[in-house]
Amino acid sequence: MRHVLLGIGVCLLAACANYSDVQVRTPMHVTESAMQPQAVAECVASKWIDTNASTHIVPNGDTRVVVVPTGGGTTTLVMMTLTASPTASGSHIEMRTTPTLGTFNEQWDQARSCL
């Protein structure tokens, strides 16, 4: 219940965004990985799902996007995404967040542990 209320409060205080709005934002973090996109996405999603049960993976061809919706169980408003796109040697990783919601350093550290 606490996560639901927190998510609703965050959404009211910040400019919540839909998936497309978040995906066109400049990434907060960018890196490369030797792992394939599916493996990166599965690892990151398994870590982020602990703080948001609605976390899910969206396939886009060979690219995988881990989507973290805002609290309350809705999947239409997005808090952050991590995109893993295929490269010749693994994956190109980009993490994006909704404006004004913070730095998400803990989530980035969790993601980096998967790379």
pLDDT of residue 91: 97
- Sheet strands (E) in the chain: 29-33, 56-60, 63-69, 78-87, 90-97
Domains of the chain, first to last: 2-112 (3.30.310)
pLDDT of residue 4: 37
- Quick one: which H or E segment has residue 4? helix 2-13
Answer whether 93's CB lies under 8 Å from 33's CB: yes
Report the C-alpha gap between 102 and 59 in whole angstroms: 26
Structure tokens at 7: 């998510």
**Which is more confidently placed, 87 or 52?**
87
pLDDT, tens digit, for every residue of 8-48? 444 444 456 788 888 888 999 999 999 999 999 999 999 99
> Per DSSP, what are the bridge partners of residue 90?
87
Q: For residue 87, is pLDDT > 70?
A: yes
Average pLDDT over residues 1-10: 40
The structure's pTM equals: 0.80
- Residue labelled with tokens 């599916």: 38
Answer whether 32's CB lies under 8 Å from 90's CB: yes
> Per DSSP, what are the bridge partners of residue 85?
92
pLDDT, tens digit, for every residue of 39-85? 999 999 999 998 888 899 999 999 999 999 876 555 578 888 999 99
